[in-house]
């Protein structure tokens, strides 16, 4: 099954990443293959294609350009929420609760 990652091959074609397992040794390995050749490694004895979830990238908090931009966006959003509350605009309670939950999740990441 397609694992969700893609890479560019030498000919600049997008190549999906597939994960395989050697059923005899339990070793897992990945291959970057075109879709029409994804079953080639599984033709070998004791090799099967594994259904896997896509790899997840974690954004680090290293203080780089992306981190500064993300923090700036969050600060502007918080300022907008505060201004909306000061103007006493009617905001549903579920919206406020959802915003607080999301804010707590961001602190944990």
pLDDT in tens, 30-69: 888 888 888 899 899 999 998 876 665 555 666 677 777 7
- How far is Cα 71 from Cα 78, in angstroms, rounded to an integer? 11
What pLDDT shows up at residue 5? 53
* Residue 1 pLDDT exceeds 50: no
Q: How confident is the model at residue 25 (pLDDT cuts 50, 70, 90)?
A: very high
The overall pTM is greater than 0.85: no
* Boundaries of every domain in the chain: 6-50, 65-108
* Phi and psi angles of residue 92, each rounded to the nearest 5 degrees, phi first: -60, 145
| Mean confidence (pLDDT) of the chain | 76
Residues 6+ apart with CB under 8 A from 47: 20, 21, 22, 23, 41
């Amino acid at each position: 099954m397609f694992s969700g990652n893609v890479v560019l091959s030498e000919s600049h074609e997008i190549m999906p990443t597939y994960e395989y397992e050697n059923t005899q040794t339990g070793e897992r390995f990945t291959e970057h293959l075109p879709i029409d050749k994804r079953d080639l490694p599984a033709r070998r004895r004791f090799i099967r294609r594994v259904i896997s979830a896509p790899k997840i990238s974690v954004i680090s908090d290293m203080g780089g350009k992306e981190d500064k931009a993300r923090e700036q966006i969050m600060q502007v959003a918080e300022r907008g929420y505060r201004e909306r509350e000061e103007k006493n605009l009617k905001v549903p309670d579920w919206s406020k609760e959802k915003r607080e939950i999301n804010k707590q999740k961001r602190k944990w990441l």
